[in-house]
Chain A
């Protein structure tokens, strides 16, 4: 069976926690372990935080939003795909921003680990970005357990 949930938030850091809760509630009825749930929660938190902190850096206004779409597919294994979409400034150099410990904001104590964490905790991370038209991050993960247990 396929299912999805779509959300749109104003690009404010205080909205990242509610997104995490909504995502983990939506996927909690899949054949998911606590570790997998935490991995996904963490990766989503990184991506949404990036959109707010970097995507809308310097151009934030009342219309600045982040869209989060979650798609699940339940077959032999459960598959989860999450898109995090912003309409911000886009990423100039994707190779640079995905380099571990690189950050454009060291003075704000960003660890520069966001993409490394997404790549470690998810099976696949894809970045689609163009200057001035925004960024879409797609996070995918296949859950390890067969669904027969339900």
Chain B
């Protein structure tokens, strides 16, 4: 994972397969950056993520709930076709903005 912070915007770029094994570690790391920068918006960039299962949904929802507590928005950037379908099945797309560019 890499991160970039600029003008209230925190960008977290994930580049691993999101399963239970990686998510256990990632949630602590992501929360660390969120609490450190307390951004206005947090963009979770999935451009490089080639696989995700429901653990990834848990990861995204957990960060979404934390961001909501500090009055911050969340955007999911560039999910692949299959990840987008997974997000739709889990109704995540009703709460969180998806953006492709």
Which residues does A use to contact B, with CB under 8 Å? 13-14, 16-17, 20, 34-35, 38-39, 41-42, 45-46, 49, 52-53, 108-114, 116-117, 120
Q: Given B21, B23, B52, B57, which contacts A17 in the complex, CB threshold below 8 Å?
A: B21
B82 within 8 A of A: yes
Q: Closest CB of chain B to A96's CB: distance in Å?
A: 17
B40 within 8 A of A: no
Q: Closest CB of chain A to B30's CB: distance in Å?
A: 11
Residues of A within 8 A of B61 (CB): 109, 111
B82 touching A35 by the CB < 8 A rule?
yes
Helix, strand, loop or mixed for chain A's interface? Answer: helix
Residues of B within 8 A of A16 (CB): 19-21
Across chains A and B, the number of contacting residue pairs, with CB separation under 8 Å, is 68
Q: Closest CB of chain B to A7's CB: distance in Å?
A: 17
Which residues does B use to contact A, with CB under 8 Å? 17, 19-21, 23-24, 27, 51-55, 57-59, 61-62, 81-82, 86, 89-90
B89 touching A111 by the CB < 8 A rule?
no
Residues of B within 8 A of A120 (CB): 89
How far apart are the CA atoms of A53 and B55 in the complex, in Å? 12
Q: Given A35, A38, A53, which contacts B20 in the complex, CB threshold below 8 Å?
A: A53
